[in-house]
Chains A and B, each alone.
Chain A
């Protein structure tokens, strides 16, 4: 399943599965957007762009076009 981070539901936990390979990859990786990390869409700026995500334990603002580079999978809920 190929969901990118700009299409997440609010306040739902996902896991980063991969990054699109381009000029931004390095920056996103540095900021902790690496496969296996938990990601959650928190809120957006007026107009829906940029978007604030929780990455691991901090909040990161990304433009929609930047969030498109992050592939995610829904987190498996363990009961």
Chain B
């Protein structure tokens, strides 16, 4: 199958076009030996099929960010074969800068064709392009396509089949050799002179191609930006947008999450009825399907948050968010560009850590990656919800604040504040000298393209499903084993005790049996073993088990607690567990065992601790070693422990 690569500047309409051309056949794949993903898809044509590769948008082949380097490695065939042909996507309203990339790529001698987009935007700005002249100058077929309308998408299909080795706009000495050397990390001299020469040659082309280019250059974008970047209004808009983002997620994800939970509950009842009762059926039901449910139930939240962030990105707002936050981010060793992975961290750290690839400065990229796990991801939310509803009555107000929302908001803020503090610390201890750079294009605002945004959000969800999914399901099975088997003597004892209870005719004897067995199991032993370490934080051995199982993924806490408190399956939700937990009394002080101090302490623990094996695995991939994941495990674990300890003891004085 022929391999064709799409190349163009960022914001030139490339991804939209890619989506239109490949439809649902998209897949992402890792380049051999790297962590960088490419998206490719199959285009079905009358005569044959083509493989179309969507490469990240770049301005120049002399690029340094991880995602930009991918384009170079594809074009010069470093990890894979060179593409058979290239399709340039040129933004007609921005021809000079777009032609720089063409002039570089043309020297590689790969057959190419060109799709001119935004010709309508150009026209609105009174820039008229002579397509025939452009075709002659470049020596390749040029077609005009508006990726956002249907009328001439057919032209794009033709453009995929019809390519030629084009003219070189500006010839430079040993270009390909030098590009390879640069890619391998050598400093190349004279690059800026070369670029200036290219622009001089491009100017000659532009003179023949652009027919008419005066007229008003003011447009709506600048008017909108007056508000969006305003010293007061701009910041208000920023906070408003972020608030709307999170409210939107909670509001929109609620229903689909309920469907998934009900679906699984129905499925499990069905399994109960059809499978013979016994150990293996339990394993399938509680070991495997609970694990799968634990993964799937987060998909709506993660998808919706990335979908909404995608809308903001595609409309052009996220770049403005980078623009207005850069000054603060710079002070703490980050970059305005860090804002996108940080906001994404509220959904899931895994795709967000991958999103740091667009940050060129290695130190800024590393620090962004290191603090992303402190953003309260969607897996912490069910833990927060359970703990808050457990300890804080709905009707309670602290001063003017609704107590429950206050605790929830504080949990999120605690994560943000600690992330900022750690960014400063990491920055202080990292002595790498590399100049920080902003230089960011602020694209024209446009209405977001839903189809593109959906497919991007889905790709992010998929990375959560594949990276976190396997880990969660495997560990869920291991945990099932740990909580169903135990040392023989202890298990026998539990069984005989259970028999006595049953003989006494207690109504919930089967639940008591389960509870006794769990206590006697390996999981129970582990919980008891760590109990001395967590007693200062206000936790008992049951919480200990839940803490350990949470290392799979934080939300497992809720499931473990529900198992530990034997909530009947039909009542296996927050309310059911809560009722049981509230009844427990701390034998040492006679207060409720799972009261406010317990809940707050545990919320702090969950907000800070790096309890996600999948995040650690992705971080290892992106940094190339286990050093940082292991360091963070201990650093954030320590902070989690200390702050939980402090919270428990302080709140214990008052509640």
Contacts and interface: CB of A to CB of B under 8 A. Distances in A.
A28 B60 CA distance: 11
A34 interface: yes
A27 B225 contact: no
Contacts of A49: 326-327
B441 A26 contact: no
A23 B436 CA distance: 11
Contact of A28 (B229, B234, B439): B439
A46 B440 contact: no
A29 B190 CA distance: 12
B437 A30 contact: no
B231 interface: yes
A51 B127 CA distance: 26
B439 A31 contact: yes
Contacts of A36: 203
B359 to A, nearest CB: 14
Nearest to A23: B435
B504 to A, nearest CB: 71
Contacts of A25: 192
B437 A60 contact: no
A59 B442 contact: yes
A36 B204 CA distance: 13
Contacts of A63: 326, 330, 438
Given A30-B60, A31-B97, A45-B324, A59 B192 contact: no
Interface in B208-259: 217, 221-222, 225-226, 229-232, 234-235
Interface residues of A, number: 35
Contacts of A57: 93-94, 125, 127, 217
B199 A29 contact: yes
B192 A58 contact: no
B196 interface: yes
A42 B444 CA distance: 14
A46 B230 contact: yes
A43 B437 CA distance: 19
A61 interface: yes
B327 A45 contact: yes
Contacts of A50: 323, 326-327, 336, 438, 440
B226 A43 contact: yes
Contacts of A56: 94, 96-97
Contact of A62 (B232, B234, B439): B439
Contact of B440 (A28, A42, A54, A60): A60
Nearest to A56: B96
Secondary structure class of chain B's binding surface, majority of residues? helix
B323 A52 contact: yes
Contacts of A30: 59-60, 62, 100, 195
B191 interface: yes
A61 B441 contact: yes
B438 A61 contact: yes
Interface string A28-44: 11111011110000111
A59 B127 contact: no
Contacts of A45: 229, 234, 323-324, 326-327
A17 B437 CA distance: 22
B229 A26 contact: no
B97 A32 contact: yes
Contact of A60 (B226, B235, B336, B441): B441
A44 B442 CA distance: 12
Contacts of A21: 192
Contacts of B96: 32, 37, 56
A59 B196 contact: no
A34 B199 contact: yes
Contact of B231 (A32, A42, A47, A52): A47
Interface string B51-78: 0000000011010000000000000000
Contact of B225 (A23, A24, A28, A43): A43
A19 B439 CA distance: 15
B229 A43 contact: yes
Given A29-B195, A29-B196, A61 B323 contact: yes
Nearest to B221: A59
Given A27-B437, A32-B100, A61-B322, 7 more contacts: A21-B192, A29-B192, A50-B327, A57-B217, A58-B444, A59-B222, A66-B439
11 contacts: A26-B195, A30-B100, A32-B100, A45-B326, A45-B327, A46-B231, A50-B438, A52-B442, A54-B222, A60-B441, A61-B438
